[in-house]
Structure 1
Amino acid sequence: MTRIFETPLYPYQRSADQDAAVPVRHPAIVVGAGPVGLAAAIDLAMHDVPVVVLDDNDKVSFGSRAICFSKRALEILDRLGVDPAMVDKGVTWNLGKVFFGERQVYEFNLLPEAGHKRPAFINLQQYYLEQYLVERVNRLAAEGKAIEIRGRNRVTAVSPADHHLALTVDTPDGPYDVEADWLIACDGANSPIRAMLGLDFVGRIFEDNFLIADVRMDAEFPTERWFWFDPPFNKGQSALLHKQPDGVWRIDLQLGWNIDKEKEKQPENVIPRLKAMLGEDVQFELEWVSIYTFQCRRMESFRHGRVLFAGDAAHQVSPFGARGANSGIQDTDNLVWKLKLVMDGAAPESLLDTYDAERLHGADENILNSSRSTDFITPKSDTSRLFRNAVLDLAEKFEFARPLVNSGRLSVPCAYDASALNGPDAEGLPARTRPGTPVPDAPVGGDWLTDMVGGRFQLLTIDVGAAERMEVDGVRVERLALSATDDPGGMLAERFLGGASGAVYLLRPDQHVAARWTAFDESAVAAAVRTALGRA
């Protein structure tokens, strides 16, 4: 059986750039055709920015790699026009369970409230996500958008020049030179672009290793996240189980620090570990095996002139918590609208510094949570282990102890509370929709709010009169007029009004709240737009 990661989806083809007499200049080049790079390219094309994606591969990723995609990432992918069949293909889950030894100590629901289009998470192999993204690229190209993926095009040199970047790209037909006004580096944790510019990570590497295995089998486990501390099949260590589509299950087993990684990846060593967990009678097939080491690191800055780093090229966290790919998709969501405004001359170039500031905040938040998870999962002293085990024992019977259990704080939307782009905040409105937060979803008539916002500046009004449209320094702001009566269930009012009779929200193109009021004031809105453009 040929699997998707064995088939070239963007095979090498000679481009016109390779035969040009002088290097061709492109407005934007993205390096890396993983989920983050493809999301960036799609967003650029939807903003009418011509974009070329360069990747040294011609296929989607081998192995499932990232599998847990959060509600916020799914909302962003909806905005990018990715086929909804992607969510249908995934395994939906909200519930997780934590075990200590053979005992379940508690369970949690990541999305207990109703009124959301998307679940807390879906599990989907990364290669499927990449396939859906490539198909979206192809649809945009067929619609006439200037977007292309060049497979087996490996960037070997990057040099800053006057108002652009010079690149050398190697191909099966030999090297060629090309130029870019802007370069977005999404080329992974071992980023060659980062190395070419002499840049590195700062942070921690934890002294522990985990076996990660994708196993194809028929099993009766429910579609939940199961995490074990000190299970009988992996004494003194931890384990994780997730269901994926196509009868594939993700299993993570903690191994410890002083191991022979290559030896541990061999089937003769992996299979006995899995049989100890699953039982001798369970029939399974290994699809993919890897060893990873916990790392919580990031670059000191994500912007270096005209080179912008995103995803694993900019930051790394441990897999527990599903913060890697989800954070990378939020990176591009934050970056592209700002880059578009700068390229159009509608915002100063310094607006890109707020990408650095806001996403550094997001990375630090992820690193903090991931580090705490790692310290709880892998105690570094006997005292820490005694504390950890006591918390797990208490959590079985006492609710107060459950928030202390940390099997991986799962990805949540990032709020930019201290952003320089935030405008005024009105008293009396709900905290969950304060400036800097992404808009929470809510049912609106027969539609969903997150499907109605994003991609441009908008003025969301709820039971308040306002101008239908505004133009501020050449930037158009469109009104979305709603009423609390559009949602008889009261979720729209609860999430956006609180006790107020009406509200006005200025929304950024990335669906984050820029400012809010309880009444419309055109001059106040215009000032908040200028603040959100980095002109304050």
Structure 2
Amino acid sequence: MTTPVLVLGAGPVGQTTALLLARWGLRVVVFDGRPERDVIGSKAICQQRDVLDVWDAVGVGAEVARRGVTWTTARTFHRDAELFSFRFADRGKSPFPPFVNISQCETERLLDERIAAESLVELRWGHLVTGIGQDDEGVTVTCVTADGDVEVRGSYAVACAGPRSDALRSALGLTFDGETFDDHFLICDIRTDLPGWETERRFYFDPEWNPGRQVLIHPCPDSTFRIDWQVPPDFDLAAEEASGGLDRRIRQVIGDRPYEIVWKSVYRFHSRVVDRMRVSRVLVAGDAAHLVSPFGARGLNSGVLDAENAAWKVAFVLRGWAAESLLDSYHDERHAAALENIEVTGATMRFLVPGTEEEARRRHDVLQRAATDPQARAQVDSGRLAEPFWYVDSPLTTPDERRPFPGRPARGDVPVPAPGVLVPDCPVTVPGRPDVVRLRQLAREGVTVLVGDAEVPVLPAFGDLPVAVHRIRDLDPTPILREALGARPDEIWVLRPDGHVAAVVTDPAQVAPAVARVLARSQKDPLPPTPRKLGVGPWRGPRAQVP
């Protein structure tokens, strides 16, 4: 398999995509138009637990968590009064905290180190993609370099070149509809000492030091805090600095403490999504595919989940384990996720920046009542924080009427496991393997079947497809795993290679159709059925990624 997969863009989404493809044994070439990595500003800082878990699959998740600042509580204030706070649920026993704040530059550096150690990934700086062509056999990318134009041939391409991908979107015939918000946001990274604020995210509505607007404060490593002020559309940062206004703004938050400005910038936020995330052999991911406001940290976190979804599906198609039509489900699933992020963050922006007098009156009323009324508190929107999308309506998911999806859970909570939902994580022990692993690590080795007390299913032979079957009690003789799943004794669970539940069935004969559905294959496999022993399959798992 010598023809590489092409990744357009070497930001964290492109880096993650490349490493995940290499994990499945595929050769990858990554292009970026910049001459080298830029390290200006902290950019996206807030990484969610399930994204750390994806990065752990390529050997950097634990290090990102170790170097970042863990925060466990989100507090929301109206003026000086705290309206509510919440912590984040974990149905299982994940080794990762709910959120870690770390500079995007540091995350990119750690991913670069893994890429440098990965022989299957080639990173080409100074390669600006100016053209892309496709045929039935592959993709051809044209790049401008210091030495002239070059063409590179690939099997598939994942386009994740960031928000300024207008030329690429145009070449692919994509629209990028949405809106741009009028209000601006001033962002400063401040190095100072704020005792008691190191493990909290704080959101202030209408504080006296930013009347009529909002302020968001996040802790970061090295005694640094990210402060976001909502400012008027005509805000002038240079004039603010010259007048001493910026110093006054900062001191209204931190008091008379000494401080250092590490980085500052002014942004306008966008809410946009492409009309298609698959264009034949090109999958579009990250900010190239969707832009959302940062209130909720759904930008980079969603882009990394795009990367995982794209990588396992491209790998399964190229290895012959899945039908080529599996790639259609990339659009189905990740476009739906992007639309949900647009809906969630759009509602937040309408609450933060009311567009009409009626919206402004409603917001004022909600904030006034929220001091004493729990129902009003539930309507206060300071940003619903990043969470995985639930593929309940995916063509790869087998519905289960006994486990209907109850809808979006409360802030900080997670849904009850069901088809389409990301499986909770727990430590498990695999018979015959000396190491104690985690359930999600096991799931990411292929298609995983978990059996309660039911009869072990007989599966058709899908070539060398990585399918493993395990009894739940063998993985964990305690009740922890069974209780985290909410598994009943007669159930059989089918997990996708990204850890999402594909099916929960009680009839062993329904397992093979559920697996075939995950692979976009016919349920009538032409190969004769052969039994698989528990925990044994022809595939021994993807390439290990250990730092």
Q: Aligned match of 1:453 in 443, 467, 490?
A: 443
Residue matched to 1:496: 485
Residue matched to 1:99: 77
AA in 1 matched with 2:275: E
Residue matched to 1:425: 400
- What is the correspondence of 1:105-144 to structure 2 with a 5 Å cutoff? 105-111=83-89, 115-141=93-119
Give unmatched runs, 5+ long, in structure 1: 1-24
Secondary structure (helix, strand or coil) at the match of 2:112 reads helix
- Decide whether the 8 Å contact of 2:51 with 2:304 is kept in 1: yes
- Decide whether the 8 Å contact of 1:337 with 1:510 is kept in 2: yes
Secondary structure (helix, strand or coil) at the match of 1:176 reads strand
User: CA separation in 1, counterparts of 2:74 and 2:382?
Assistant: 10
Q: Aligned match of 1:363 in 301, 322, 338?
A: 338
- Decide whether the 8 Å contact of 1:438 with 1:513 is kept in 2: yes
Residue matched to 1:329: 304
Residue matched to 1:185: 159
User: CA separation in 1, counterparts of 2:30 and 2:123?
Assistant: 5
Secondary structure (helix, strand or coil) at the match of 1:66 reads coil
Q: Aligned match of 2:225 in 233, 244, 249?
A: 249
Q: Aligned match of 2:248 in 267, 272, 292?
A: 272
AA in 1 matched with 2:83: V
Residue matched to 2:23: 46
AA in 1 matched with 2:471: A
Does structure 1 residue 64 correspond to structure 2 residue 38?
no
Residue matched to 1:441: 425
Deviation at 1:427, TM superposition (A): 2.6
Give unmatched runs, 5+ long, in structure 2: 407-415, 430-435, 523-547
Does structure 1 residue 353 correspond to structure 2 residue 353?
no
Secondary structure (helix, strand or coil) at the match of 1:246 reads coil
Residue matched to 1:9: none
Query: Which stretch shows the higher mean deviation, 131-140 or 180-189?
Result: 131-140
Question: Per-residue displacement from partner, 1:298-342 (whole Å, max 9, x unpaired)?
Answer: 000011122211000000000000000110011111111111122
Q: Aligned match of 1:508 in 484, 492, 496?
A: 496
Residue matched to 2:412: none
User: CA separation in 2, counterparts of 1:267 and 1:532?
Assistant: 60
Summarize the Cα distance change of 1:78–1:502 in structure 2 as closer, same or farther, 3 Å threshold.
Answer: farther
- What is the correspondence of 1:15-34 to structure 2 with a 5 Å cutoff? 26-34=3-11
- Decide whether the 8 Å contact of 1:468 with 1:479 is kept in 2: no
Question: Per-residue displacement from partner, 1:100-133 (whole Å, max 9, x unpaired)?
Answer: 1111111111237673322211111101111111
User: CA separation in 2, counterparts of 1:463 and 1:138?
Assistant: 46
Q: Aligned match of 2:375 in 385, 400, 405?
A: 400
Deviation at 1:162, TM superposition (A): 5.0
- Decide whether the 8 Å contact of 1:98 with 1:106 is kept in 2: yes
Question: Per-residue displacement from partner, 1:452-506 (whole Å, max 9, x unpaired)?
Answer: 3213111122344525976336523111332299364x442223235x2243111
Summarize the Cα distance change of 1:459–1:470 in structure 2 as closer, same or farther, 3 Å threshold.
Answer: farther
- Decide whether the 8 Å contact of 1:60 with 1:130 is kept in 2: no
Secondary structure (helix, strand or coil) at the match of 1:252 reads strand
Query: Which stretch shows the higher mean deviation, 356-365 or 171-180?
Result: 171-180
Q: Would you say how many aligned residue pairs link Structure 1 and Structure 2?
A: 503
Secondary structure (helix, strand or coil) at the match of 1:199 reads coil
User: CA separation in 2, counterparts of 1:246 and 1:383?
Assistant: 43
User: CA separation in 1, counterparts of 2:21 and 2:210?
Assistant: 46
Q: CA RMSD in A?
A: 2.5
User: CA separation in 1, counterparts of 2:446 and 2:242?
Assistant: 51
Question: Per-residue displacement from partner, 1:417-455 (whole Å, max 9, x unpaired)?
Answer: 111111252636997221111111234466532233213
Secondary structure (helix, strand or coil) at the match of 2:156 reads strand
- Decide whether the 8 Å contact of 1:166 with 1:178 is kept in 2: yes
User: CA separation in 1, counterparts of 2:176 and 2:395?
Assistant: 25
User: CA separation in 2, counterparts of 1:130 and 1:175?
Assistant: 27
AA in 2 matched with 1:513: V
Secondary structure (helix, strand or coil) at the match of 2:393 reads coil
For normalisation by structure 2, the TM-score amounts to: 0.86
- Identical aligned residues as a percent: 36
Secondary structure (helix, strand or coil) at the match of 2:461 reads strand
Secondary structure (helix, strand or coil) at the match of 2:17 reads helix
Does structure 1 residue 303 correspond to structure 2 residue 281?
no
